[in-house]
Chain A
Amino acid sequence: MRHVYTPVIGLEIHVQLATESKLFCPCSTDYIGAEPNTNVCPVCLGLPGALPTLNARAVELAVRAAMGLSCEIHDGTIFHRKHYFYADLPKAYQVSQYDRPLADRGELYISGDGGSPKRIGITRLHLEEDAGKLVHSAADGRLEGARESYADFNRGGVPLAEIVSDPDIGSPREAREYVSALRRLVRYLGVSDGDMDRGSMRVDANVSVVKSNADTGEILYRGDRAEIKNMNSLRSVERALEYEIRRQRATLESGGTLERETRHWNDGEGVTTSMRSKEAALDYRCLPDPDLGPIEVSREMLDAIRSSLPEMPWEREARFIGDYSLSEVDAAVLVETPALADYYERCVRSGASPLRASNWVRTEVLRVLNERGVGIEECPVRPEELGLLVSMLDEGRASTTVAKEIFGLMVDRGLSLQEATDRCGAHGGLSQEDLELAAKSVLDANPDVLAEIMGGRDLKGKKRKFICGLVMKETRGRATPGAVEDVIARFLEGME
């Protein structure tokens, strides 16, 4: 009997909400690079007598995310205290939501392995506070021999939305697609910056494999799931899942069984290792938080949030494909972030042809951003100017080479389009005489081709194009195709 092993994957993603202040106190959420324990107060340090108050904006952002995921949103849901003793948790409980989440039963579409859109169910979305950070090295940075660990509570209490998917994800590639789609969504909605490397999006995965009879499809064994933690990039999500599925499959093939456990992804070694087994599973001793009332989500609030929602990424993608005749792949690149999609559209609106604008944004603009390690917001070329530059190409007023030169000047020297164009000169600094000289030397050097054209044997115009190409080359790409064609036409007329 042949067997097939089908992976079953569900993801739990913590998204850090883009609020100014923490979930339950007015401390700043800006902890990256901050001096340890500066954004702290009696509430997030868990001092005796301190009380939490809920940040309305965090609720609003969580509701936005829930709407983007088409969830059912519940009014009057409550917070629970989830107890565990650990050095990053000052109150020894985390305020979270337990059996009554803010939202549940949503969905997100991704590009499935089969090539068509695939629906991934969203089990639930709830609000919770982040824990503090522990540093495990010695004060001088050494890991060896350190006898202490250090606690910093700047991050403690920062608002998170935990988004749990149904186990609908069928492969590591789909998991990556899902994370990437969710990241795009939260960015569109202004819910989070979605940066995985800064920890604004943290992914845990529940993975199991099902063994079935390849011929009949009969299920023979369902492995208990493993929870994988510590995947800090899209790539590590995919790699960790690939490894884990291989590991589980190998275990089953060798006659072993799979227990429920939590495993840690080690990115350097490319393996997952067991952290704790089911027996050691934690009992969080949940208690409805008596210091916090229910979360209020009124009809008016829902209506206000709904009416403020932007165009969703998938809606924009479809519009780009339909209105601008872009390919699916190109449209997907352009709608990755709302800022990039806005940039592209402003470019098109100032007169550029959609296809050429798409090429320029995806290649030239993204290359510059990558080189500089900045976001589209800091692009040195304004989209309107890029639009005008692209339309110069569209209208044959500049060659690609010259346009790139102009673009380069705008990027490197910070020149405006006008200044950069002036610097390059009309037609890229090429005079009519230069062009005529170039045309003459090409014709002189290719008498046989010229003869064919003049003899009427260039029926398809191929030879003529070849000559034009050589002229272009002779001008090192500075002449526009139109100008070259004009000058060649005049020469040929003059010879008749």
Chain B
Amino acid sequence: MQLSMTAAETARRVSEGELRPLETVDVFMKTAREREPNLHALLAVLEERAGHAAERLDASLSRGEGPGPLSGVPVVLDDGICVRGTPTTCASRMLEGWIAPYDSAASEMLDSSGAIICAKGNMDEFSIGCSTETSAFGATANPCDPGRVPGGSAGGCAAAVAAGYAPLALACDTGGSLLQPASYCGVYGLRPTYGLVSRWGVAALAPSMDQLGILSRTVEDAALALSVISGHDPRDAMSSPGDRPDYMAAVAVPDGKDARRPLAGRRIATVAEMRGGSDLAGACREALDRTLAMLAEAGAELVEVHLPLSFNHGLACYQVLLAAEASSSLARFDGVRHGLSAEADSLNSLYLGTRGKGFGREVKRVAAAGTYILGSDRYEDCYLRASNVRRRIVGELLDALAGCDLIALPTTPTTAFRRGEFDGDYFGMSLSLSFTVQASLAGLPALSFNAAGAGELPAGVQLIAPRRGEAGLLAAAAAIERVRASRDEAGERRSER
């Protein structure tokens, strides 16, 4: 088995008996052992649990029971996702040593699909940060360049997938915390529509934007994982009911007259406000241009939309709402029921001490800022105003998407930055989310893929679709993947000649 084996290929071979589940776990463990000292992508390796899961799967396959769609596929979950009986720390001292007493919907669905949860990925503490440097347990390196960050908060998961530990990882995206690391590490990142995937058991940051998403190395694997984890869950009141389309059909190779121009009739829009933006790095602009050319080659019609509010004020709106909601989500860490608890002789000193010791610097600052703006004297001009701006941004995006099928734009304004570059500069670092907060604010699905030139640092381009437009996103990404593959093939043939 090679590092590059996809989830789909792994599941196929395990199902057909060509590969034993224990072998896939072994490969994961071996790769992790080799690379972890340099990358530190993981916070916990669940060797025992994975071994048991592999044995159970092995037994059920040999009994002739039908294989699941992810049979034997190693998966990494970010450390904010509860897996019963295993440590779940959210990369915080606050939850150091805490064993989740219940399963997230995601881990339940993975288990029943035959997937093998192998490890918990490093992340920014409580998902606050964009570089995985705020993790209380040490930063993660970018596998493409160890001097750079993998992005964050889901940097550990993105690095694990990019480095070939596992073909799949699941992590929570709030304002780009999954898309941005996908861009920095050169992997696929899919943020589904708000409500498509259950958040049950996923530690909250900003619940109105939090959405569980997928990191993978191929678009087919993203589709496969989405088929497994999407679905209505009555335990999440925001989970939307109704059937999910066949995502695998969306990435299947089209036949007949559509084969060469699978995106014919699709209107894909660029954002007028991105034109001439000096904040955009050359590599990212080129990545977008390259992508647009491939989209056109696949038959898409390129148009332009105007999103002035979303791009001029999206980030500010996001910052305000994030802090407000995060302060609320983090209030429950008080040293009474779980995790860290300070020595104290009064309730107040218990709270102050526990939260002062348990939270890292960024978490403290964001929680404090959120507490401040939820105060009655600040509520209207901060939280309420941002909520109202958000409503307008949602309207603007939905209007734009009424006139096109997808919006294409760079995932991040730059490629991965250097470790330590933004030490303590929360707002400077957050500029890396300048193009991802919009989909989050509107609950829209977005998919990021690497569009960097050969030999360059990864540079993601994302497509944004209307709500529940995942099939369209996957189809477009699959079309680009095929155009790229055929170009690579052509290139190889040329170089061979």
Contacts and interface: CB of A to CB of B under 8 A. Distances in A.
- Do A and B have CB atoms closer than 8 angstroms in the complex? yes
Interface string B56-76: 000000000000000000000
B201 interface: yes
Contacts of B328: 81, 83, 93, 287
B331 A91 contact: yes
Nearest to A153: B337
A46 B332 contact: yes
Contacts of B202: 49
Contacts of A51: 199-200, 235-237
A220 interface: no
B337 A48 contact: no
A290 B194 CA distance: 12
Contact of B347 (A42, A47, A86, A283): A86
B161 interface: no
Contacts of A283: 375-376
Interface in A288-302: 288, 290-293
Given A48-B95, A53-B235, A54-B237, A90 B332 contact: yes
Contact of B82 (A49, A54, A292, A293): A49
Contact of A47 (B102, B238, B376): B102
B338 A293 contact: no
A52 interface: yes
Nearest to A85: B351
A151 interface: yes
Task: With a 10 A CB-CB cut-off, give which of B204, B348, B375 has the most chain A CB atoms.
Answer: B204
Contact of B203 (A49, A149, A291): A49
Interface residues of B, number: 43
A87 B346 CA distance: 11
Interface in B345-363: 347-348, 351
A252 interface: no
A286 B383 CA distance: 10
Contacts of B104: 49
A91 B238 contact: no
Interface string A260-291: 00000000000000000000000101111011
A291 B238 contact: yes
Given A85-B351, A283-B375, A48 B203 contact: yes
A85 B101 CA distance: 24
Contacts of A90: 332, 336-337
Contacts of A292: 237
B331 A293 contact: no
B80 A87 contact: no
A67 interface: no
A245 interface: no
A92 B199 contact: no
B379 interface: yes
A45 interface: yes
Contacts of B325: 287, 290
Given A48-B95, A49-B202, A91-B332, A42 B234 contact: no
Interface in A83-138: 83, 85-87, 90-93
B90 interface: yes
Contacts of A42: 101-102, 201
Given A85-B331, A283-B376, A49 B204 contact: yes
A322 to B, nearest CB: 48
Nearest to A25: B235
B206 interface: yes
Contacts of B204: 48-49, 291
Interface in A387-403: none
Contacts of A87: 336, 347
B81 interface: yes
Interface in A365-415: none
B88 A291 contact: no
A293 B194 CA distance: 13
B371 interface: yes
Nearest to B98: A48
Interface in B362-396: 371, 374-376, 379, 383, 387
Contacts of A52: 237
- Bin chain A's interface residue count: 20 to 34
A290 B211 CA distance: 13
Nearest to A91: B332
Contact of B238 (A46, A285, A293): A293
Task: With a 10 A CB-CB cut-off, give which of B201, B331, B334 has the most chain A CB atoms.
Answer: B331
Contacts of A91: 331-332
Contacts of B91: none
A233 B264 CA distance: 75
B51 interface: no
Contacts of A286: 374, 376, 379
A49 B376 contact: no
A49 B200 contact: yes
A79 B492 CA distance: 60
Contacts of B383: 287
B331 A92 contact: yes
A416 to B, nearest CB: 51
A291 B207 contact: yes
Contacts of B379: 285-286
B237 A85 contact: no
A96 to B, nearest CB: 13
Nearest to A292: B237
Contacts of A149: 347
Contacts of B332: 46, 48, 90-92
A136 to B, nearest CB: 12
B324 interface: yes
Contacts of A46: 332, 337
Nearest to A87: B347
B80 A285 contact: no
A290 B348 CA distance: 27
B208 A290 contact: yes
Given A85-B351, A90-B332, A53 B371 contact: no
Interface in A47-91: 47-54, 81, 83, 85-87, 90-91
A49 B374 contact: no
Interface string B74-104: 0000001110000010100001000011101
A27 B413 CA distance: 48
A195 B135 CA distance: 51
B81 A92 contact: no
A59 to B, nearest CB: 13
Given A48-B82, A48-B88, A92-B331, A287 B347 contact: no
Interface in A7-59: 42, 45-54
Contacts of B199: 49, 51
Nearest to B338: A47
Nearest to B351: A85
A77 to B, nearest CB: 15
A275 to B, nearest CB: 16
Interface string B202-219: 111011100000000000
Task: With a 10 A CB-CB cut-off, give which of A81, A92, A286, A292 has the most chain B CB atoms.
Answer: A92
A47 B235 contact: no
Given A83-B374, A87-B336, A283-B376, A47 B101 contact: yes
Contacts of B101: 42, 47
A151 B350 CA distance: 14
Contacts of A53: 234-237
Interface in B183-241: 199-204, 206-208, 234-238
Interface of A: 42, 45-54, 81, 83, 85-87, 90-93, 149, 151, 283, 285-288, 290-293
17 contacts: A45-B337, A47-B101, A47-B337, A48-B95, A48-B100, A49-B80, A49-B100, A49-B199, A49-B200, A49-B203, A83-B374, A283-B375, A285-B371, A285-B375, A286-B379, A287-B324, A293-B237
Given A93-B328, A285-B374, 9 more contacts: A46-B332, A47-B338, A48-B80, A48-B338, A49-B82, A53-B234, A90-B337, A290-B207, A291-B204
> Which 8 pairs of residues, A with B, have the shortest CB-CB distance?
A92-B331, A290-B208, A285-B374, A48-B203, A290-B207, A49-B201, A46-B332, A91-B332
